């Protein structure tokens, strides 16, 4: 029978699963990641029951002998496609675009002020 687990957070922030006994004391505490991984590794009773049932079905099927018959070519199925009105192609009028150029402004070189070089000491 499955035990009820309560979730907590550790001081580090990890999620924990805790199982309590009848008195309410903690019986088992483990990290959520480890508990979840263990749960996924195990299969439930319901899963094992359906797997066993499927195995029985596969073994008890009767062997059916197929009669040899001439194979017929399957007729092509024609399905009525809904009619969709086609759009008429409209020609776009060619318009001349004006060539736009950016105006390039020349920057004037500014003269630096002459500074006296200081002698290193």
Structure-token pair, residue 20: 């309590």
The secondary structure of residue 115, as a DSSP letter, is: -
pLDDT digits (tens, 9 = 90+) for 54-63: 887 777 655 6
Backbone angles phi, psi at 67, to 5 degrees: -85, 140
User: Could you read off the pLDDT of 6-62 as tens digits, one per residue?
Assistant: 888 989 998 988 888 888 888 888 888 888 888 888 888 888 888 888 887 777 655
Domain residue ranges in the chain? 5-47
- pTM higher than the cut 0.85: no
In whole numbers, what is the pLDDT of the chain averaged over residues? 78
Alpha helices in 26-91 (DSSP H): 32-41, 45-60
Rounded CA separation 50/41 (Å): 17
Answer for the pair 19, 32: CB distance below 8 angstroms, yes or no. no
> Which pLDDT band holds residue 1 (cuts at 50, 70, 90)?
very low
């Amino acid at each position: 029978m499955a035990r009820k687990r309560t979730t907590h957070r550790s001081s580090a922030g990890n999620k924990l699963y805790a199982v309590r006994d009848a008195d309410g004391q903690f019986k088992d505490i483990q990290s959520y990641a480890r508990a979840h991984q263990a749960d996924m590794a195990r299969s439930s009773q319901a899963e094992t029951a359906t797997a066993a049932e499927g195995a029985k079905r596969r073994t008890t099927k009767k062997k059916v002998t197929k009669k040899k018959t001439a194979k017929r070519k399957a007729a092509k199925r024609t399905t009525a496609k809904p009619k969709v009105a086609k759009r008429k192609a409209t020609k776009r009028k060619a318009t001349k675009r004006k060539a736009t150029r950016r105006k390039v402004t020349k920057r004037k070189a500014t003269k630096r002020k002459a500074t006296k070089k200081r002698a290193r000491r």
